[in-house]
A and B are shown apart, each in its own frame.
Chain A
Amino acid sequence: MELTINGTKHQVDIEPDTPLLWVLRDELAMTGTKYGCGLAQCGACTVLVDGQATRSCVTPVESVAGADIMTIEAVADDPVGQKVVEAWVANQVAQCGYCQSGQVMAATALLKQTPKPTDEDIAGAMVNLCRCGTYNAIAAAVRDAAQA
């Protein structure tokens, strides 16, 4: 099957119900997208599928064949993603950093759809878990990215 990831086409030969996460990580060596729970609980595996924040650990790869998939590896090439990354660095959001790929992707999806989010929009979209408790910094960084 053919996947379009970060604008590049990849042929993968794999069971169609394999979660996208493991295709990215193990077949395509794109390890920026993280595994935390495998159960759509934590959001560490968040990627964009046609611009929508999507938890790749529960997304069968066949369901996204033909879709436009964007991962953290390409986030800085995207104008909105670039703003998010800069805001993340400026706000010194990351602690252990493990959840942050997913957080940055969730923020990028939010700002693509809602460039000027309210605090409620931010609370509604930024629901990924962070065990290091960077939640306040995340919210501040999203607000900054929206201003940038």
Chain B
Amino acid sequence: MNDMTPINPEVQASYNGKPFKVSRRGFLGASLGALVLGVTLPAARTRALAAAPASVSPGSRVAAFLEIRPDSTVLFRSAFIEGGQGIFTAMAQIVGEELDVDPANFVVEGAPPGPDYLLTGGGRFTGGSMSVRMSYDTMRKLGASARQMLLQAAATKLGVPASELSTEPGRVVHATSGRTVAYGEIADDAAKLPLPADVALRDRANFRWIGKPFARLDARDKSTGKAKYSIDQTIDGMLYAAVQHSPRLGGEPEALQNEADVQGMPGVHSIHRLPGAVAVVANSWWRARRAVEALQVNWTEAPSTASHPMPADFSSDAHMAKLKATSGDGVAFETEGDAAGTLAGAARVIEAVYDAPYLVHGQLEPPSALARWNEDGSLELWIPNQAPEMFQADAAKVAGIAPEKVIIHSPMLGGFFGRHFLYQTANPYPQAILLAKAVGRPIKLLWSREEEFLRDALRPMAAVRFRGGLDASGMPVALSAVAVGEGPTGRWFGRQPNKVDSSAVEGIAGKVYAIPNRRVGQIHVDDPAIIGFWRSVGHSMNDFFYETFFDEMADAGQQDPYELRLRLLAGSPRHKTLLEAVADLSGGWKRGPFAAEDGTRRARGVAMASPFGSEVATIAEVSLRDGEIAVHDVWVAIDPGSIVNPAIIEAQMNSAVALGLSSALLEEVVYVNGVPQARNYDGYQILTPDRMPRVHVRIVESGAPMGGIGEPGLPGVPPAVANALSVLAGERVRSLPMSKFDLKEVDG
């Protein structure tokens, strides 16, 4: 607890090309302990972490997370990064509940790298909709431990036994004498106490903040332009940089035909060759960008040693054709009963091939990196990231220094959806590190939207072959699915041959319907593109494939798709309840087509998904207007087991519906001759406000283990819409996005 020596670093500006001097001057001596640091500065945190015991039990050291300030407000360092999903507010609710501090009195920021924060299965990342569910118990204990220490300190101060004390938000109360002590007054003493071995947690029935629609802590700052993202960071003496990447990954810059002209452009400081890119450093970003885009660069062909070079003849169409033409059953991932045998003897067999395209993340904040080399040889980075330790390790390699000499700041993210994981060729910080070294000044590098759409790590392309077997009564008795393609988990965390990457099959495997004979297999085909995690990962397309094929089976067996789902969930009360909940929320299941009050002809589709530990049922209502698909309402019932903030869950469901619908209707990255055809939102359309449906949410708390929130709302949306559309169009939708279907002839 006393390992955080307060430090006040004075950062000296340098305009003469020298490294920056960081003077470290201890201040205020011993009167301020770890819990009462009035100012939190990066150097202090670095020191604190350097001093952390060799073996830290993540999430246990109060001082690594909490600072109670003299005014009794709390600075909390979150292991998870805020990017719109509301995690900072959720953390304040969870910790505040046990600490007994109103979450509104929390200031939350992203924690630096360090062993205390490895709360995601021994590592640390913000993703997989894991933040709350992986840390809930630990963070409650942390808050309770800090409260216990404050009680102890107050007991000493008041000269009464701790057993006579209780707390009210922000203060300790001695009921018999009527005396109170504000947390801020005793935080210093509390900081010196050992961590309590055992703490009691608050009874769920007495929760004041957990489970309540607590207002987001960042709502006002984000409504007034005060929230600071990576793109907004500035430091004295910095120069700006812009890059032009090789159009195809793997190419290196050769001759710069007009280097002298560009060097003479306004504000240009210097021109640089980087791995796979050229850069201009200038005194404003606009000047840097203008200059770098004026550079006429000859790019080499990728050397044979390049990893993932983009072939010159690569096209997404041809790759899709290849996936679809790849035959075989692949490696089995999930097997139940005898799918092949049952299919062979089934009364009826239906077959279909489904596919989904590449997608970009399209988060609205383009990636950036601010890099500064300090005089002591350390490197300081302000970068959008979902995994500080992984970025720290990689940055250290790029910089050629030890990881502990890399100081990572993780500002709020302007959206992420999986964009800010460590994808080596998709992150700007290696370029910023090299440029800052080369010019001896801090560098702020920003990728233009065009460079971002060229280098983003894409949701992989996929195709799935289904075969469904029905018995004589039209009930599905066998299902075989073969997914063809590559999953992002295998790409980035290592793929074992003959083992299926679960991120390629999740959402086809792990389905809840009682179809007795099933086999889900995968055929790995290398994806030539740089692929990554996209909100809800494999589920984002696999549940579309499966749930839409499910309706094909229902139609073939002449069964209502909702009723068939209910029948196949008869042995699974949690899912049956959820499906009935969404039907109820929508006013009772009706498939249509039916005439709406405005005279349009409408239909509804239903889908279920089991993503990231939560269960979701979704219904969408759709009509056609002049060949355009209009989605009017989406009803989402989600069962995450138990919850922390229903208002944030509702917001996340809205967000997931928007992104799911966007992907279903509009989005597609098209490659021709090795280059993406769209480099901005003009060519890559995303959901606009006029296409946004009403969203209705019901939260079902079944009490099952806590599941995720950020991603689970998405997977059900594309299939619910596709299933509704199929009713109107009279034909199945087996390929995304739906905007490529000509629906003009269909009667709206």
Contact = CB atoms under 8 A, between A and B. Distances in A.
Interface in A133-148: 133-139
A31 interface: yes
Nearest to A123: B690
Interface stretch (B191-199, B401-409, B412-420): B412-420
Interface string B573-597: 0000000000000000000000000
A100 B222 contact: yes
B231 A35 contact: yes
Contacts of B86: 95
A44 interface: yes
Interface stretch (B12-20, B136-144, B493-501, B655-663): B655-663
Most buried by B among A35, A73, A98: A98
A92 B215 contact: yes
Most buried by A among B221, B416, B448, B658: B658
B84 A39 contact: no
B682 interface: yes
B449 A136 contact: no
A96 B695 CA distance: 19
Contact of A130 (B287, B364, B680): B364
Interface in B386-411: none
Given A44-B364, A96-B83, A133 B414 contact: no
Contacts of B363: 96, 98, 131
A109 interface: no
B286 interface: yes
A128 B286 CA distance: 23
A97 B414 contact: yes
B559 interface: no
Nearest to A85: B223
A131 B85 contact: no
A134 B216 CA distance: 14
B654 A134 contact: yes
Given A36-B364, A95-B85, A133 B654 contact: yes
Contacts of A72: 224-225
A39 B224 CA distance: 23
Interface in A31-86: 31-39, 41-42, 44, 71-73, 75-76, 85
B651 A89 contact: no
A135 B216 contact: no
A27 B266 CA distance: 14
A139 B693 CA distance: 12
Contacts of A126: 689
Given A27-B284, A37-B680, A42-B681, A96 B659 contact: no
Interface string B78-102: 0000011110000000000000000
A60 to B, nearest CB: 11
Given A127-B688, A129-B681, A132-B655, A22 B286 contact: yes
Given A32-B225, A37-B680, A97 B692 contact: no
Contacts of A73: 225
B365 A34 contact: yes
A134 B688 CA distance: 11
Contact of A137 (B227, B654, B657): B654
Nearest to A71: B225
A59 to B, nearest CB: 13
Interface in B247-288: 266, 284-287
A117 interface: no
Contacts of B662: 133
Q: Is the interface of A mostly helix, strand, loop or mixed?
A: loop
Contacts of A71: 225
Interface string B679-698: 01110001111101011000
Given A95-B84, A129-B686, A26 B286 contact: yes
A88 B225 contact: no
Contacts of A44: 364
A72 B226 CA distance: 9
A129 B674 CA distance: 29
B364 A39 contact: no
A36 B415 CA distance: 11
A104 interface: yes
B527 interface: no
B365 to A, nearest CB: 5
B468 interface: no
Contacts of B364: 34, 36, 42, 44, 96, 98-99, 129-131
A121 to B, nearest CB: 13
A31 B659 CA distance: 27
B682 A96 contact: no
Nearest to A14: B284
B365 A135 contact: no
B677 interface: no
Given A22-B285, A85-B223, A95-B85, 16 more contacts: A29-B234, A32-B224, A34-B364, A89-B215, A89-B223, A95-B415, A96-B413, A123-B689, A126-B689, A130-B689, A131-B364, A131-B417, A132-B658, A134-B654, A135-B658, A137-B654
30 contacts: A18-B284, A31-B228, A32-B224, A32-B226, A34-B229, A37-B680, A37-B681, A38-B448, A71-B225, A72-B225, A85-B223, A94-B218, A94-B219, A95-B652, A96-B365, A97-B84, A98-B229, A98-B365, A104-B223, A127-B689, A127-B690, A129-B364, A130-B689, A131-B415, A133-B659, A133-B662, A134-B654, A135-B687, A136-B695, A137-B651
